[in-house]
A and B are shown apart, each in its own frame.
Chain A
Amino acid sequence: GDSVTQMEGPVTLSEEAFLTINCTYTATGYPSLFWYVQYPGEGLQLLLKATKADDKGSNKGFEATYRKETTSFHLEKGSVQVSDSAVYFCALRDNNNDMRFGAGTRLTVKP
């Protein structure tokens, strides 16, 4: 079935460093792709999304581009802040409208 694989964490960066969290997917159809973020003690929040190939989702300085040729949706941010420390989940929504999540990548940003 459809699935998502994202890089294992934890990832530890210094403030203002460049962030990449890799995500690749396997799908039979044309899924929508999402990044969700879970801050400590909170629920899942949508960070950004892309619904078709070559779409770029962006929010709060984060970006991800839907790459059909490489089946990827890598999350990037040019300069991370301490407040970005959280767990990031890549997800796809399949043709049955069910969300499939990656395992999550914990990011810690140190001042």
Chain B
Amino acid sequence: EPEVTQTPSHQVTQMGQEVILRCVPISNHLYFYWYRQILGQKVEFLVSFYNNEISEKSEIFDDQFSVERPDGSNFTLKIRSTKLEDSAMYFCASHISWADTGNTIYFGEGSWLTVV
């Protein structure tokens, strides 16, 4: 079973520091996503990425967030200056094709970010 992998699984960082969360999507997938889940709350969409550019982003995804696909395999989420309220589980996801809306989106196991 192919899988999306994320690193680190858990990171503790000081407020104001920059954080990079890394994801390796499934190799033949074309669409990539970041979601977050604040403890005890719903899973929220952050951003979608296709063809090396952002295709959609939510109001949560402000100027302190950025995404990048620096090579053929990694997909990163950068938070420039972390705030306490950025503490959450961040999920990376990918899927293969836009044409078939039934295609499954595969999620990674998440990166738990704690800002102190």
Contact (Cβ within 8 A) B101 A101: no
Contact (Cβ within 8 A) A103 B41: yes
Contact (Cβ within 8 A) B45 A44: no
Assess whether B25 is interfacial by the CB under 8 Å rule: no
**Residues of B with C-beta under 8 A to A32:** 101-102
Contact (Cβ within 8 A) A98 B104: no
Contact (Cβ within 8 A) B42 A97: no
**Residues of A with C-beta under 8 A to B108:** 43
Q: For the complex, what is the distance from the CA of A101 to the CA of B89, rounded to whole Å?
A: 15
Q: For the complex, what is the distance from the CA of A81 to the CA of B105, rounded to whole Å?
A: 27
Q: How far is the CB of A40 from chain B (nearest CB, A)?
A: 13
Q: For the complex, what is the distance from the CA of A96 to the CA of B58, rounded to whole Å?
A: 13
Contact (Cβ within 8 A) B91 A99: no
8 Å CB contact of B31 from A31, A46, A97: A97
Interface residues of A in 87-111 (CB under 8 A from B): 89, 91, 93, 95-104
**Residues of B with C-beta under 8 A to A96:** 48, 55-56
Q: For the complex, what is the distance from the CA of A49 to the CA of B110, rounded to whole Å?
A: 21
8 Å CB contact of B102 from A51, A89, A91, A99: A51
Interface residues of A in 1-58 (CB under 8 A from B): 30-32, 36, 42-46, 49, 51
Assess whether B86 is interfacial by the CB under 8 Å rule: no
Contact (Cβ within 8 A) A89 B43: yes
Q: For the complex, what is the distance from the CA of A25 to the CA of B33, rounded to whole Å?
A: 22
Interface residues of A in 43-85 (CB under 8 A from B): 43-46, 49, 51
8 Å CB contact of A98 from B45, B102, B110: B45
Please provide the 8 A-B residue pairs with the shortest distance between their CB atoms, ordered closest to farther: A51-B102, A43-B109, A101-B43, A44-B107, A103-B42, A43-B110, A32-B101, A32-B102
Chain B positions within 8 Å of A, measured between CB atoms, are 31, 33, 35, 41-45, 48, 55-56, 89, 91, 93, 95, 98, 101-102, 104-110
Q: Beyond A99-B33, A101-B44, list 4 extra A-B contacts (CB 8 Å).
A: A46-B105, A46-B107, A93-B101, A98-B56
